[in-house]
Amino acid sequence: MNQRRIVFVVFDGFQPLDLVGPHEVFQHAAARSGAYECAVVSARAGAVRSSSGLLLHTGHGVGELDPTGTDTLVVVGGEGVDRARDDAALVGWIAAAAAGARRVTSVCSGAFLLAAAGLLDGRRATTHWAREHQLAREYPAVHVDCDPVFVRDGDVWTSAGVTAGMDLALALVEDDLGRDAAHAAARELVLFLRRPGNQSQFSLALWSRQPATEPLRAALAAVHADPGARHGIAELAAVAGLSPRHLQRRFTAELGVPPGTYVERVRVEAAQRALAEGDEPVEAIARRHGFGTAETLRRAFHRRIGVAPSEYRERFRSTLAPEPVHPANERTSA
C-alpha cells in the first residue's frame, strides 16, 4: 500500500488538541497499516507557540516544503488564526497544496485559513460554534452550518472545535481504510464514542436559549425530567400555569422554537443516549422516549440526524466492542 502523506498546518497561537488529536488518530492507523506518513508545517521551521503556551518544533517551513505530494491537508485552528490568515505566504502555500491534494480539511477555526485561500467558496462548511457568525460575516460565499460535528462537501472536510478534530480524523481513516480500521484506532485511543459527522456539536439543554421566566423554566424541567411523558401543549400549559395559547406564544418567543419542536429534540437526544449506551430494542426505546413506534422514531432521526436509529447504534456500539480474545493469548492460571 502506498503511504498517504498527511500534512498539518500550524501557526503561532494554534490550539494544541486540534493538531495532536487528529495526528494521533492517523499515527495509530499507520501503526497497523503503514498507510500514513505525517508532517507538520508552519510559516517558518522551528518553534511555534500554541495558544496554551506549549512549544512545538516544526521541521518544515512553507518556503521549504514542496506543496505537491500532499494527500490530505489538515489546517488546524486556534486563537492565532486571525493573524495567520494575514500571512500571504502561508495562505498561498495552503492554496497551492490544496490544488494538488486529494482532500483538504480543517479543524475548528482552521476553516478561516481555508476560506482566506478561497477553498470554501460555494461550499458548506462548519467551524467552532463560537466562530459561526464571524465566518459567515467575513466570508459570505461560504455556506456556514455550525450544527454538525463535521461536514464533508466533495473533497473538502471541515470540523467543529477541538476534540471534533478526532471525529473528523476517524472519518477520514474510515473513508480510506474502512470502518474496522477506524474502530481499531478509536479503541486504542480509548474514545468512548465515535460520533458521526451529522451529530450536533450542541447539547440542547446546554446550548439552547434559556427561558427568562419561571413558568417556562418549570415546563422545560418537566420535559427534561421525563422526555417520554405526555408533553402536549395542554400538559405543558398546566405545568406552567398558563393558557395553551399563551404558553405557545411565550415559549416560541423565549426559546426560538415551538414547544413541539423542542420536545422532539429532547426526545431524540434521550434516544441517542439509549442507543449508544445500551442494548434495549429500538421499539422499546421509541415507546419509552415518547415516540410510540419505531417508525416514528426512525422518521425523527432522519429529520434531526440524517441516519436511521439502527445505523446510529451500529456506529457507536461497534466502537465500544472489545477486541476478540484469541485462545493463544489467554492467560492460564498457574
What is the amino acid identity at position 305?
I
Spatial contact of 199 and 275, defined as CB atoms under 8 Å apart: no
Q: Which of 43, 84, 90, 108 is catalytic?
A: 108
Q: Please classify residue 68 by burial: count the beta carbons closer than 10 Å to its beta carbon, then call 0-12 exposed, 13-18 middle and 19+ buried.
A: exposed
User: CA-CA distance, 137 to 11, in Å (whole number)?
Assistant: 23
Q: What are the strands, taking DSSP E only, across 134-280?
A: 143-144, 150-153, 156-159
- Alpha carbon distance 81, 59 (integer Å): 20
Element (DSSP H or E) covering residue 105: strand 103-107
Measure CA 178 to chain center.
Answer: 19
* 292-317 exposure pattern, b = at least 16 Cβ within 10 A, e = fewer: eebeebbebbeebbebbbeebbebbe
Question: Is the four-CA dihedral 146, 300, 204, 52 of positive or negative sign?
Answer: negative
Considering Cα of 32, then 36, then 37, then 39, what sign does the dihedral take?
Answer: negative
- The b/e string for 155-183 (b: 16+ C-beta within 10 A; e otherwise) is ebbbbbbbbbbbbbbbbbbbebbebebbb
38 is catalytic: no
Which DSSP string do the residues of 208-232 spell out, in sequence order? SPPPSSHHHHHHHHHHHH-TTS---
Burial degree of 124 (CB within 10 A; 0-12, 13-18, 19+): middle
Looking at the annotation, which residues are catalytic? 108
